[in-house]
Amino acid sequence: MFGLKADWSLDIKQRYFTLGDYIGGEPRWCPGCGDHAVLTTVQRICRDKQLPPEKTVTVSGIGCSSRMPHYVGTYGFHGIHGRALPVACGIKSRRPELDIWVATGDGDCYSIGAGHWLHAVRYNMNMTVLVFDNSIYGLTKKQTSPTTPIGFKSNTHPKGAILAPLNPLTATLGISNVSFLAQTIDWNPAHLYETIKAAHDHRGFSLVNIIQRCPVFSPEAFKHLQEDPSNLLLLTHEKGIPVEKNISRLFPNQQEHDPSNMSEAYDVALPKLPKPVGLLYHNPDVPCYEDFSSVGKDMGVEEKLAGLNTALDQFAI
Amino acid sequence: MTKETSQPVKNNDATSKTPKRIDEHIVEIVSDSGEGAQKAGQTFGTISAKMGNGVWTVEIIPAEIQPPTRSPAGASGIRVRLGSHYMTNMGDAADIVVALNEQVLYSRIATHAYKPGTVILLENKWETDPNPEIREQYKTAVAEFRENGLVVHEVPMEEECLKHTPKPRLGKNMFVLGMLCHIYSRDLEKGNNEIEATFGRKGKKVVEINQNLLQAGYDFAQGNLDYWYEIPPWKRDSTDPLIVNNGNQAVGLGVMASGMDLVSMYPITPATSASHYLAEVYDKVGGFVHQAEDEIAAVGFAIGSSYAGKTACTITSGPGLALKTEFLALAVMTEIPLVVVVVQRGGPSTGLPTKVEQGDLLASLYGEPGDTPKIVIAAATIEECFHFVIMARKLAETFRTTVILLTDANLATGVQPYPRPKAKAEWMAAPIDQSDWKKGVPPFDWDEETGLSPRPIVGQAGGQYVLTGLAHTNNSKVAYDRESNQRGCNMRSRKLATLYSTLKPPKIHGDQEGDLLMVGWGSTLGAIEEAVDKMRAEGHKVSSLHLRFLSPLEPGLKEIFSRFKKVLTVEINYSDEADAPLIESGNRRYSQLAVLLRTQTLVDVDCWGNVYGQPMQPGLICEELFRHLNAMKGEN
């Protein structure tokens, strides 16, 4: 009938996820906050990669950034301050098929959760870790964070921050098993998208430090970067973050940097200015901890009972 | 063979033709650490268990990592209590002690481990040591011990061992084992087999030397010591096979049997050996031990796994429990199943890391910020260490909450035979549900009666929700209204009431009514019941009950308490003595179980305990009971 062949078939995707599938509650961030840009970028990447929302988990700690799980339509875990990474690693440990996103901040990750940051890099479990680095504590209203510039006046240091800021890039590069480290800026959507997408593509622990504006508590911390792009250094390379010409010309300072070159990555990361934007370091060959931790996850009950009996045999009298 | 200068070794009480039949004995081997005393004692315990005796062994652990040799602080060794009945505790004073130097005995004497009449078989090589100071110390000590009633026999262990090995320090423990094998009429072939099993990997020659030393010790005791006993086997009601292990190994086996496939831990004494054991064998059931970067990460990792549907376990001790508290509160509030095993010890820091205490009861119940209703259970025997882990996982998943299982250093290192568990498939966790989540069912679909609700597991399409530590509605949405948090707290608390309604009142050991009821929990069970049996045999109206559920408490306590003139908790915990200076009813600090029972029952529960860092001993309990019974007579 109608001249159709018997083997007629059409490849129809069983489910197609729209942006709406990745939208949760309405964001309650301040107008002008850089977090909005990160959120929509993540949602677009989820849509573009068609990640099943039920197989995706967004994990966070506490802070402005950590509200993110509430705003995405995946499974979410909004835990306690500084502890997003142990939870995320635990989820991954026996369910390596799940797609894990972590939203954390400069206080959550680099201060209260600093121990977990170091060790999560070492575990190198496959997850995309977005550090919303606004150089200030926002949720608790303007306290000095580890990345707050020296001299910056906050509620805990009204005369100006005493200590030089922590450099999360050089610190991360110093941790064994580091496998993916990038930095981007919230006000360049194209670069933000490509960076986070590359991070998600990488199998391993991808850490993206996102320089993210807080228009309420630390607007002046980023002014010099936004107003004078020569304070930024665009990293370019065929193995780096792809950059279109129209984006590239926004950056007067550029450097060809091979992301497999660790010592060059360190040189790029070290100076206070210009701040590098792009992929600092990438090693796709670092083993992932879940390859060890998930061994045996599908063992059947019969085999487990046999294993238990062997163990009991050792104590038999 | 014994030196002329030694005390006469022949014991007039025993005849050399047949061994003396006894019901039980307590044996200790004490030495510097590294001399293999624990190995010898464990093997002796295993041989005895294999010959059908009831056995309880407990390690004597030095307080320091590398204490100087020949120092009281360095006392390392083992106590083995063996007899013709089921053994539940370490007992009181030792009957026979083998000591490899005299100095280590001082620390044992300080803990009242011996009594007048305790026999000490003492290595005598120090008597002729090239160092005059050591010779003097030895002489002084031996004289002192004898003055205090200890029966010291000086034995040339080194000299005898040198006939078989150029390095007697390494093999002397097998000589000691050989002596004990003769003294207690053990089957030497069983000793040879144990040596074969232990040293087989190191080659034939090592096995041979050790077996020769074993034989030498046996022959020496036969030829020179008149201590010769027979302890008939324990007459069991059943012929079911037994296994023998310590409480931490039992916890590890329980983890495997429960079907939990992840243990996330950070090293802490005395909990760590449970994870050591699991790390060795867990792969047989497909499991994994994660060593986290700290205690907080350890529980966070377990919570992550549990959240994703693979209920996990974290094993720790008191200081670790303290560090985990915020995460525990989160797990309870967000209704994530989680099993936490707390192997209790004394105090923070390196406090009393190797010593026993029951000090984490109230911390387990109330240690978290905010209202954190969780299930707290306590194992009283090594067998329960196994079965309670299985129960803990089931409770955690059924009630969608945290279960804390309390054990302690006494159970962790105590070794006891118990019926071999018959592994069952229903003990194991079911595979996780990945079917579509039923439309319209919220993530916290609380049953108003029970507080229970089904849990969406990551991967279930349509079940996506955001777990949050913020006050939330049954949809897991952040809530700012006043009713939502109140309701969530109601529902979580109701789950404990639901569990309570399923529990039976505890059994009473002894008469159902009487003068005094002791209430205990955890590892003190054996000592308490042994004390009750002794007191009842002497005509005293004393009973005991032992709690396994601490949160919720077991039902019927108030009614049971009303049948006794006095109720007394017995704990390895601190309390002010009622008649101490400045103490009156308004400021007396009660021990932890007493605080709980007084609050819940409004009965004037008294308490007794100590923080000696030692397992509870039946003799000490009896002394205390006499004090109370006499005082009660005085009141009448």
Is there a single domain that holds both residue B143 and residue B182? yes
| Distance in angstroms (rounded) separating the CA atoms of residues B458 and A69 | 14
Give B249→chain A minimum CA distance, Å.
Answer: 10
Residue B11 covered by a domain? no
Whether chain A has a CB inside 8 Å of the CB on B422: the answer is no
Residues 6+ apart with CB under 8 A from B504: B554, B555
Looking at the structure, tell me whether residues B529 and B484 fall in a common domain: no
Residue B472, CA distances (Å) to A205, B334, B341, B443, B488 in order = 31, 9, 28, 11, 7
Give the distance from residue A54's alpha carbon to the nearest chain B alpha carbon, in angstroms: 5
B474 part of a folded domain:
yes
Question: What pLDDT is recorded for position B5?
Answer: 40
Establish if B119 belongs to a structural domain.
yes
- pLDDT tens across A9-34, in order? 555 557 899 999 999 999 999 999 99
Q: Are residues B597 and B629 in the same domain?
A: yes
Residues B487 and B527 in one domain: no
On whether any CB of chain A is under 8 Å from the CB of B266, the answer is no
Contacts of B294 in chain A (CB under 8 A): 115
- State whether B596 and B627 are in the same domain: yes
The CA dihedral of B412, B413, B417, B423, to the nearest 10 degrees, is 40
Average pLDDT per run of 10 along chain B, which is 636 residues long? 43 65 97 92 93 92 82 92 95 97 95 96 97 97 97 97 91 96 96 92 93 97 95 89 94 98 96 97 98 98 98 96 97 97 82 83 96 97 98 98 97 93 96 95 96 97 92 88 93 98 98 98 97 98 98 98 98 95 95 98 97 92 96 81
A149 exposure class (CB count in 10 Å sphere: 0-12, 13-18, 19+): middle
Strand partners, B81: B26, B56
Q: pLDDT tens for residues A99-117?
A: 999 999 999 999 999 999 9
**Is A311 in Cβ contact with B466 (below 8 Å)?**
no
The alpha carbon of residue B281 is apart from the nearest alpha carbon of chain A, in Å, by: 7
Closest partner residue to B301 (CB to CB) among A62, A89, A295 is: A89
Of all helices (H) and strands (E), which one includes residue B280?
helix B272-281
Residue B576 and residue B591: Cα distance in Å, rounded?
8
pTM of the prediction? 0.94
Measured in angstroms, the CA of A58 and the nearest CA of chain B are apart by 9
Q: Are B327 and A83 within 8 A, CB to CB?
A: yes
Helix, strand, or coil here: B398?
Answer: helix
Does B9 fall in a domain? no
How many interface pairs between A and B have CB atoms less than 8 angstroms apart? 204
| Cα–Cα distance measured from residue A195 to residue A202, given in angstroms and rounded to the nearest whole number | 11
What does the buried/exposed string (b/e) look like for A20-41 if buried means 16 or more CB atoms within 10 Å of the residue's CB?
ebbebeebebeeebbbbbbbbb
The whole-angstrom separation of Cα B201 and Cα B194 is 12
Q: How far is residue B466's CA from residue A24's CA, in Å, rounded to a whole number?
A: 9
Q: At which of B172, B199, B230 does a domain end?
A: B230
- SS3 of B564, please? strand
Is there a single domain that holds both residue B154 and residue B215?
yes
Residue B236 domain flag:
no
Q: Which residues contact A314 (CB under 8 A, 6 or more apart)?
A: B281
Residue B235 counted as domain residue:
no
d(CA B487, CA B472) in angstroms, rounded, equals 9
Total count of domains within chain B: 4
Looking at the domain assignment, is residue B57 inside a domain? yes
**B378 in helix, strand or coil?**
strand
- B351: burial class by Cβ within 10 Å (0-12, 13-18, 19+)? middle
From B410, B425, B440, the end of a domain falls on: B425
How far apart are the CA of B251 and the nearest CA of chain A, in angstroms? 12
Which residue, B230, B257, B278, sits at the end of a domain?
B230
Mean of pLDDT over chain A:
95
At B6 the pLDDT is 42
User: First-to-last CA distance in chain A?
Assistant: 78
- Same domain, yes or no, for B204 and B101? yes
pLDDT of res. B7: 46
* Chain B 122-161, residues with CB within 8 Å of chain A CB atoms: none
Q: Are residues B206 and B131 in the same domain?
A: yes
Three-state DSSP state, B224: helix
Shortest CA gap B382–chain A (Å):
13
Put simply, the answer to whether B300 touches A83 (Cβ < 8 Å) is yes
Distance (Å, rounded) from C-alpha A246 to C-alpha A226?
A: 17
Residue A1 has pLDDT above 70, yes or no: no
- In this structure, the answer to whether residues B277 and B395 fall within a common structural domain is yes
Say whether pLDDT at A280 is over 70.
yes
Find chain A residues with C-beta within 8 A of B469's C-beta. Answer: 62, 78-80
- In whole angstroms, give the CA distance from residue B407 to residue B271: 9
Which residues in chain B (322-351) have CB-CB distances under 8 A to chain A? 326-327, 330
Q: Structural domain of residue B266, as residue ranges?
A: 244-425
Domains within chain A, CATH numbers bracketed: 19-289 (3.40.50.970)
Is there a contact between B144 and B42 (Cβ–Cβ < 8 Å)? no
pLDDT per position as a tens digit, A47-100: 999 999 999 999 999 999 999 999 999 999 999 999 999 999 999 999 999 999
Same-domain status, B71 and B184: yes
The pLDDT score that the predictor gives to residue B17 is: 78
Inform me whether the pLDDT recorded for A4 exceeds 60.
no
Q: Using CB atoms, which residue from A91, A296, A304 is nearest to B307?
A: A91
User: For the residues of B49-61, what is the DSSP string, one character each?
Assistant: HHTT-EEEEEEE-
Amino acid A72: pLDDT: 97
Question: Least CA distance to B423: which residue of chain A?
Answer: A305
Instruction: Return d(Cα B134, Cα B140) in angstroms, integer.
Output: 10
pLDDT value for A284: 98
d(CA B392, CA B384): 11
Residues B331 and B273 in one domain: yes
Q: What is the CATH number of the domain that holds B335?
A: 3.40.50.970
Give the residue from chain A lying closest to B336, CA to CA.
Answer: A77
Q: Residue B628 sits in a domain of what CATH number?
A: 3.40.50.920
In a domain, B2, yes or no: no
**Claim to verify: residue B272 and residue B391 sit in the same structural domain:** yes
Contact A305 B423 (CB under 8 A): yes
